[in-house]
Amino acid sequence: MNTDQNKFPCSYFTDTKPLLLENGTSIDELTVAYESYGKLNQDKSNAIIICHALSGDQFLASKNPLTNKDGWWNRMVGSGKPIDTDKYFVICANVLGGCLGSTGPTSINPSTGEEYGLNFPVITISDMVNAQMRLIQHLKIDKLLSVIGGSMGGMQVLEWAATYPSNILSAIPIATSSRHTAQNIAFHELGRQAIMADPDWSGGNYIKAGTNPTKGLSIARMTAHVTYLSEASLTKKFGRRLQDKEEISFGFDADFQIESYLRHQGLTFVDRFDANSYLYITRAMDYFDLEKTHRKSLTEIFEKTNIKFLIASFTGDWLYPPSENLMIVRALSAGGADVSFVNIESDKGHDAFLLEEPEFDDAMRGFINSVSTEAKIL
């Protein structure tokens, strides 16, 4: 993984003011890599920040320079789309701890002149949001029209709403939770152990050693990817169909299409993601517990908030099931918040928010337009 932060064609913000982290340490020099779409209006009232998930990045609606593929939310963000860039100024930042330009394990530690590696401090979702806030302040935006994100992005949205309620008008947490469950922590631990068991991980110093734990990271991705799907979607897409053969081989090659698919997912992931970043970001998700961080119940955190919320979940999502999202809705309602809830019928699993779901698109467009109208965005 190339550690040159300027290798990625996007915008960069660097702050030499130390960023205090939740663990009590600090990052002395912060860099945030980000993409923006649309134009900021004269009174800076049309800005939306979109927070990406674990395997996402800042290239949500533009070509990814590593894969040359369309952005991960290209169908949602753009001219005339539910998040309309003809009307809104959309920002997406690579998270703190990421590997596409923002300060993370592959960055150069200014005190040593070498990559951080495992000397990078353990971070949290709160730290990611505080880094994003530095970017928003740099852009001189006082209030965001909306903060939006799915999965880990949804965690960031909740953290934004809890920490900076006066700086946002609306929040859309999608397919997420207010704290990571034991099951989700378990899946992440499987991935981390796969990475650390790879001899090429070299105790986290693989860049210096000239190695790369691709096998471990590939397995981590394969494990995680299964959780993003559903049994129905796997059966519909693959079933027990064989891969380029008519009979089983009585061996351990990829006999089934699902095996070949997962191996492909793992192999392509290692070309665009850093193994240590995977460790740090999954750990941040595991540590996420909004009530513990703010030392209040969910209801107390959002009591009397003026933020308008749209919570969205999907019936086929077993990673962050509707019940987890509904718990947030109930807490918001109990605190008197203005909250809408949509539970989309879908068999596509957790990844449904990234895929074609017309009902979800309509809900997004309607809610954002409603907030925009109320805020008198022209």
Q: CA-to-CA distance for 34 and 132, rounded, in angstroms?
A: 10
Catalytic residue status for 317: yes
- Residue 339, token pair as written in the block: 């909250």
Catalytic residue status for 264: no
Catalytic member of 45, 102, 126, 151: 151
Catalytic member of 107, 230, 350, 351: 350
Catalytic member of 57, 198, 317, 351: 317
Catalytically annotated residues: 151, 317, 350
